[in-house]
Copies of this chain bind each other. A is one copy, B any other.
Amino acid sequence: MSETADITGFRPAWLRDDELDQARAWLPVLYVEAVPVRVDQYGQVNQVGLLLRARPDGSISRAAVSGRVLHSERIRQALLRHLEKDLGPVALPRLPADLSPFTVVEYFPDPQVTGFHDPRQHAVALAYVVPVDGDASPSQDTLDLTWMTPAEAVSPGVAAEMTSGHDRLIRLAMAHVGALP
């Protein structure tokens, strides 16, 4: 990850599990989330990519790209790192020129607070819609990557396959790009 040094001069710091547990008890944890999309030459979104993941309890769910911003890591680095980790090295994600997220998602251990739920921690995620030009292929922990139309992605059937509020995240993303039916 030599690019990391390029833009910060620092290398991100990884934490041991016990350190991360302690940190989670003290601070909200910063995340980035990306909804991968395919766009036409006019920039219109015609497909949405959803990851298929195995969860710790053995169940399977669909989700957007999501991951932690490390200490000393820039937000753009974290976005690219997680996109490459989940979509593979030749997905060619088009990171936004403007770093303002389309929404800020607040996850709490208590699912009642915002509807966005993370049993492990209080996390705050900056969420982006990211057009992907290349060949995305699921990698690492991802079982599969499915492309579907915006209408399919927000349909009740697909929404039921998402957890933690990611179905709502997808609806907000599609609204942001004017593709919510």
Contacts and interface: CB of A to CB of B under 8 A. Distances in A.
Interface in A82-126: 94-104, 106, 108, 110, 112-114, 122, 124, 126
Copy tally for this chain in the complex stands at 4
Contacts of A110: 8-10
Contact of A74 (B23, B106, B131): B106
A80 B44 CA distance: 12
Interface residues of A, number: 66
Given A27-B29, A76-B44, A106-B74, A9 B112 contact: yes
Given A27-B23, A102-B100, A176-B176, A42 B129 contact: no
A143 interface: no
B175 A71 contact: no
Interface of A: 3, 7-10, 13, 15, 19-20, 22-23, 25-30, 37, 39, 41-45, 69-77, 79-80, 94-104, 106, 108, 110, 112-114, 122, 124, 126, 129, 131, 168, 171-172, 175-178, 180-181
24 contacts: A7-B42, A7-B44, A9-B113, A10-B108, A13-B26, A15-B26, A20-B26, A23-B27, A27-B27, A27-B30, A28-B70, A28-B73, A30-B124, A37-B97, A41-B80, A42-B77, A42-B79, A42-B95, A72-B122, A94-B94, A98-B102, A98-B176, A99-B103, A100-B100
